[in-house]
Structure 1
Amino acid sequence: MQRESALKKWLHTCYPQQDFVLSFAAADADFRRYFRAEFHDGQTVICMDAPPDKMSIQPYMKVQKLFQAINVPEIYHSDEQQGFMTLQDFGNTPYLSALQQDKRIEVHKVLLLEAIDELIKLQTASLPDQLPVYDEAVLKREMQLFPEWYVQKELGLSLTEKQQQLWEQSLAAILPVILAQPKVYVHRDYIVRNIMLTHDRPGILDFQDALYGPITYDLVSLLRDAFIEWDEEFILDIVIRYWEKARAAGLPVRTDFDQFYRGFEWMGVQRHLKVAGIFARLYYRDGKDKYRGEIHRFLKYLRNTSRRYHELRPLLQLITELIGEEEVQTGYTF
C-alpha cells in the first residue's frame, strides 16, 4: 500500500489537475507490478512500479530505445529514483488469452505469424555492441538452475557422480551448437503472455532483460510455451515459415533447413532446462506457485527433443533416472 500511495502521489505530479482511478493490471515473476490509470476522459496509461531497492528501470528504458523497430510501449514519464514509469496502454488481451479463447488452429497460425513478423523486424534491426552478449557463461549459468533448483529442491535429490558426468556431457554437447548460431537482439521472454493483441500490430512487453545472442532463442520461446502447447507438426510448419521469412529479410539463418531446425531444437533444450529451474526457484525461494505446475511441460519438451538426437542421449538418460519414463511421443528430426 505504501508503494501504491507513492505511485498515486507521483502520478498527480505527472498529470496535474487530472483525476484518475488506479487499478491493478498485472504482476511479473520478479518484483514489478503494473497498474492502469484511467482518466475522466476515458484515456488510460499503464504505470510500472519497480521498487528501486530491488531493481532498476534503467535497463527497460535502454532496451525500449533499441527496440523501436517493433511495437513496444511508448514511455511517457519516468522516475528512476522512485522506480515509476507511465507507459502506453496496449489493452487487456495478451496473446495467451486470445489463443485460449479461440482454439481454431488457423487463428493460432495467423497470430503466431504476426508475432514472427514482429520478431523478424527486431532481429533485422540488431546491431552488435548495443546489448550484453548472451555468451557461454550466461547460457551455462542458466542451465545450472536445473540441478540447483529443480533437482535439489523440487525432487529433493543430489546428482550422483555418474549423473554429474551425464550432466557435464550434456552441457558439452549443447553449448557449442548454440554458440555457433548467428547473433541478434534476443528479447529473452518472447512468449504469448508478453505479446498483446492490438488493433494493428502485436504489442511487445517485458523486454528489459534483452541480450545479443542466438537467433533461434526467441522463436523457441514463442513456440514452446509454459501455458499453451501445440503439436509437433504445427510447430514445424511455423518454424519453416519463420525460416522462409527470415531468409527473405536477409537474416543470417542456416541455408539448410535441417541444420536450422536442429539449432532451434537444441536452443530449446537450453531454455527448457533453465525455465524448469526458474519455476522451481520461484516456488521454493520466492513463494510464487503460479508457475510450478507447468514444469512438467518443459520436462516433456526435454524428453521429446533428447530422444531425437543421439548426442543428447546422456541428457535423456539423466532425466529418466531422475524422474522416470514417460510415454514416447513422435516428432521430427532431420
Structure 2
Amino acid sequence: MSEPAPHDPRAAQRLDWTRAALGDAAAGLERASTDAGFRSYWRTTGAAPSRIVMDSPPDKEDVRPWLRVRDLLEAGGVRVPRVLARDVEAGLLLLEDLGGPTVAQVIDAANADVHMDAAIAQLIRLQSLTLPEDFPAFGEALLQRDAGLFEDWFLHRHLGITLDCEDAERLQLAQRRLMDNALAQARVPTHRDYMPRNLMPVADGPAVLDFQDMVLGPIAYDPVSLLRDAFLSWPEARVEDWLRSYHARAMQVGLPVPAIGDFLRDADWCGVQRHLKILGIFARLHHRDGKPRYLADAPRFIAYLDAVVPKYRELDPLHELLERTVKPAFAKVIS
C-alpha cells in the first residue's frame, strides 16, 4: 500500500515528482540518508528496483555544481551514481540505488586492505582527470577560509577561547606554514572529502559520493583524507603502509608525486590543515545548524594532531598552542 501524500509542501513536491519520473502513481519514499548540508536522500518504495531521490532545495543548495562534477568524473572513468531523471530548477534528481551501507559501515581491520586498495585505485583515476580551465583551484582564499573555521567556530564559539597576542601569533604562523606547504604541492583534481563514508562498495567501484566541492588542489590532500578519516582511525604504521602503496601506484601512472619522504611530510601537513578545518566545521554544525553528533568525533582529531604535530619543528607554534591553551579548554568541555 502506498503512503499518503505528505502535507509538507516540499515533501509533496518531491513525492509527486518521483511518481512522475518513475511512471508509477503508487510509488512511495522513505528516508535513505542526509548529509551535513541541506541535501537529503530518499529511497523509493514499491516496484523494484528501488531508486534514490536526491533533494537539493534550490533556495539552499544548487544542484548544478554536483551535476557538473558528476559528469566530469563519469567521463574520466570514475564510478559515480548514474542519473536517471533530473529537474534542475526544482533541485530533484532520480539516481540509481547503490545499496545501503557505505565503505565506512563495512570496513574493518580484516578487510581494510581490500577496501583501501580499491579506494586508492579509484582515487588515482580521479586525480588523473583533466579538468576544464575554469575549474576552481584550492588557493589562498580557500585556505584562509578553512583556517578561519578553526579559530572562529572551534576555539571561539565552542571552547570559549579568546586568543591572547602570543597565541594568536602562534596560530597565524602555523596556519601560514601549512598553507604555504599546500600551495607548493603539485595540483591534481581533489575531492576534498575522499573518505570511506563517501564511498559505496559496489562491484565496479567503489562509487564516489559527495564530490560537488572538487577543486584543483594539493596531491597529498585526498590520500590523507582517506587514511586519516574523520570518522575512522587506523594504526599509524598501517596508515604509512597505505600511503606508501598509494605513492608507488601514483608514480606508476605518472602523477606528480614528490619523493616518498617529501610526500609523507606533505600528507602529514595536509592532514593537520584538514583536521583543524574539520574541527571548525563540526563546531559550526553543532552551534549553527543544530547537528551535535559530529562533535563526538572531535577527540579523534585531537589525537591525530598529537600524533603528527610534534614530529615537525616548524609546527612547534601549533604544538605550544595546543598544549597550553586548546587541550586544557577542550578537556573542560568534554568532562
TM exceeding 0.5: yes
1:304 aligns with 2:311: no
- Equivalent in the alignment of 2:212: 208
- Equivalent in the alignment of 2:54: 48
- Equivalent in the alignment of 2:5: none
> 1: distance between equivalents of 2:198 and 2:170?
35
> 1: distance between equivalents of 2:194 and 2:104?
12
> 2: distance between equivalents of 1:216 and 1:300?
20
**Size of the alignment, in residue pairs?**
319
Of 34, 38, 44, the residue aligned with 1:27 is: 34
Identical pairs, percent: 37
Q: Deviations for 1:30-55, whole angstroms, at most 9, x for unmatched residues? A: 11110011342x21111011111111
Of 114, 117, 122, the residue aligned with 2:121 is: 117
**Unaligned ranges ≥5, structure 2:** 1-7, 329-335
> 1: distance between equivalents of 2:132 and 2:27?
42
> 2: distance between equivalents of 1:77 and 1:83?
11
1:135 aligns with 2:143: no
Quick check: 2:103–2:199 contact (8 Å CA) kept in 1?
Answer: yes
Of 125, 150, 157, the residue aligned with 2:154 is: 150
Amino acid at match of 1:56: D
Which piece of structure 1 moves more, 265-274 or 10-19? 10-19
Of 105, 109, 117, the residue aligned with 1:97 is: 105
TM-superposed CA distance for 1:173, in Å, is 1.5
TM-score by length of 1: 0.92
> 2: distance between equivalents of 1:128 and 1:11?
33
- Equivalent in the alignment of 1:331: none
TM-superposed CA distance for 1:166, in Å, is 0.4
TM-score by length of 2: 0.92
TM-superposed CA distance for 1:253, in Å, is 0.4
SS in 1 for 2:28: strand
> 2: distance between equivalents of 1:190 and 1:120?
12
TM-superposed CA distance for 1:130, in Å, is 4.7
Amino acid at match of 2:100: N
- Equivalent in the alignment of 2:269: 266
- Equivalent in the alignment of 1:16: 23
TM-superposed CA distance for 1:200, in Å, is 2.9
> 2: distance between equivalents of 1:74 and 1:131?
22
Quick check: 1:18–1:39 contact (8 Å CA) kept in 2?
Answer: no
Q: Deviations for 1:190-236, whole angstroms, at most 9, x for unmatched residues? A: 11111011123211111111111111111111111122100110000
> 1: distance between equivalents of 2:114 and 2:234?
14
**Unaligned ranges ≥5, structure 1:** 326-334
Quick check: 1:50–1:83 contact (8 Å CA) kept in 2?
Answer: yes
1:292 aligns with 2:295: yes
- Equivalent in the alignment of 2:239: 235
> 2: distance between equivalents of 1:310 and 1:303?
14
Q: 1:130 to 1:64 in 2, by over 3 A?
A: farther
